[in-house]
A and B are shown apart, each in its own frame.
Chain A
């Protein structure tokens, strides 16, 4: 509490504060002391009244919500005390309810300052009040007014000066709050404009992304279409050979492909190719490889060429693999390579010549019965090691024999515990279909792989090609 005994310096007045919050009282006290006033502080209305009676202050600033005696009680007591009634009285109010004004009027308050307030504004209100001293007699003779607010009637006994002061203060308060609202509104408006601009930019960006996306989808669809052209026709009709195949890419673009086609009057070429990796780079390589594995006599074909006398010459599988390996040796190895099993089947004799570039062994199901057989050939993946000669092998088929070519997506298919499907289960599945049609056995193997990979499905392309020699 400030020492009330010292007289205020020039321009300063004797101020009494009633405020139950020590913190708020301290802040206000400091501001007033800095402005040259002498300040006394009481923590409730009752104590404040005692202090006012002990020495008459020149102005009173009081909070409303306080223990023991509220600001209204304190104000009423001051305004009914003949010795104190002309002391200007400022109520600090949150003014959350219009009835507060009526209560203030009824209590005889001269001024409202709404909390939170700017200290300078409060000091301004103080100066204004001190400049217009209150006439004591006029106030004493004040008539009782009846005011109706929010459906309630209030009897208010207030002097003209008091009503005027309070009205002005309420009005000023409203103006101040309105200005704050205007500023806040402007800030909101700026924020809204900026949001709108950002939103427009987002819409533009979104449209751009959507455009690029649909372009990419179109490109992928076109690429997938090109890739499908590498596959056999739906119905492969070859004399003395049944063909069935299934091909399930794990993405829209695959690294796997297969084909089976006649090379000349007597021979059929068949292969499964598996380019490492997935997606665009792998599928681009697959399409490029496919150009060389064509049965059409053309410059690009490695499988057939036209001899000087016009006859079509079929290249041996070993030759094909060696040539492909040469063609796909880049100066800087991209890390992309492919495995391939390529065979040439001589239809009249049933002899299969084949080569493997790091590809899983083919499975033969003998028509005569007996367990499935794996037939592989040694050879590194193609494009992997420069200057290798590929070794060619031969397999003599018996009438009714079936052979199956596949990509590693079949035996390496992993279940949810990452256990591979395995060559043994694969061979057993194929062998299980030996009594039924060829197409059924290929479909059954694909289904077995898909069941094995549940629930995620295969992570690699799955390619299966089965043929049955029926001379």
Chain B
């Protein structure tokens, strides 16, 4: 079911799994494409459980945080849960600088993150 350029997608039970394929998420074009693909993947699901895997991502701009904020609202607005994993220290720094490491539920890897959905 992998029809996207920027994200690799899958379902594990009711959890929507998303892996960001880009090593660098820096410019607005990439960001807009990710936003579009996420919207398409999650479709009309209300309050879905979503797992975002950052293990491929080496560089990320703070504008990406805005996109994560949008997703956080969409998910939590419908009682869904958002989990993130595979965040390397350089990327974690972006979350830490903005205190968003305390807003988002961040886990080591996909199995660890998936375990928290049960």
A interface residues with partner B (beta carbon < 8 Å): 276-277, 279, 333-337, 339, 356, 358-360, 378-381, 384-385, 408, 411-412, 414, 418, 420, 459
Mask of B86-112 contacts with A, CB within 8 angstroms, 1/0: 000010011001111011000000000
In contact, B62 and A335 (Cβ under 8 angstroms): no
B33 at the A/B interface (Cβ < 8 Å)?
Answer: no
In contact, B99 and A276 (Cβ under 8 angstroms): no
In contact, B70 and A358 (Cβ under 8 angstroms): no
In contact, B98 and A335 (Cβ under 8 angstroms): no
| A interface majority secondary structure | loop
In contact, B65 and A378 (Cβ under 8 angstroms): no
A-B pairs, top 4 by smallest CB distance, nearest first, are A358-B98, A335-B66, A277-B63, A384-B69
Q: Min CB distance, A358 to chain B, in Å? A: 4
Q: Which B residues are in CB contact (< 8 Å) with A385?
A: 69, 72, 103
Cα A276 to Cα B62 with chains together (Å): 6
B73 at the A/B interface (Cβ < 8 Å)?
Answer: yes
In contact, A408 and B90 (Cβ under 8 angstroms): no
Cα A411 to Cα B98 with chains together (Å): 13
Q: Which A residues are in CB contact (< 8 Å) with B97?
A: 358, 360, 408, 411-412
Cα A412 to Cα B73 with chains together (Å): 27
Mask of B7-51 contacts with A, CB within 8 angstroms, 1/0: 000000000000000000010100000010000000000000000
Given known contacts A277-B28, A418-B59, A420-B90, is B65 in contact with A337 (CB within 8 Å)?
yes
In contact, B66 and A336 (Cβ under 8 angstroms): yes
Can you name 17 extra interface pairs (CB under 8 A) apart from A333-B70, A335-B66, A360-B97?
A: A276-B65, A279-B28, A333-B66, A335-B67, A337-B65, A337-B66, A379-B99, A380-B99, A380-B102, A381-B98, A384-B65, A385-B103, A408-B62, A412-B94, A412-B97, A418-B58, A418-B59
Q: Which A residues are in CB contact (< 8 Å) with B66?
A: 276-277, 333-337
In contact, A276 and B102 (Cβ under 8 angstroms): no
Q: Which A residues are in CB contact (< 8 Å) with B90?
A: 420
Cα A337 to Cα B61 with chains together (Å): 13
Cα A412 to Cα B95 with chains together (Å): 12
Which chain B residue shows the least CB distance to A339? Answer: B98
Q: Min CB distance, B116 to chain A, in Å? A: 20
Q: Which A residues are in CB contact (< 8 Å) with B67?
A: 335
8 Å CB contact of B70 from A335, A356, A420? A335
Q: Which B residues are in CB contact (< 8 Å) with A276?
A: 62-63, 65-66
In contact, B100 and A381 (Cβ under 8 angstroms): yes
In contact, A381 and B65 (Cβ under 8 angstroms): yes
Cα A339 to Cα B63 with chains together (Å): 12
Q: Min CB distance, A32 to chain B, in Å? A: 65
Query: What are 25 A-to-B residue pairs whose CB atoms are below 8 Å?
Result: A333-B66, A333-B73, A335-B63, A335-B66, A335-B70, A336-B66, A337-B66, A337-B69, A356-B99, A358-B97, A358-B98, A358-B99, A358-B100, A360-B97, A379-B99, A380-B98, A381-B69, A381-B99, A384-B69, A384-B100, A384-B103, A385-B103, A412-B62, A418-B59, A420-B93
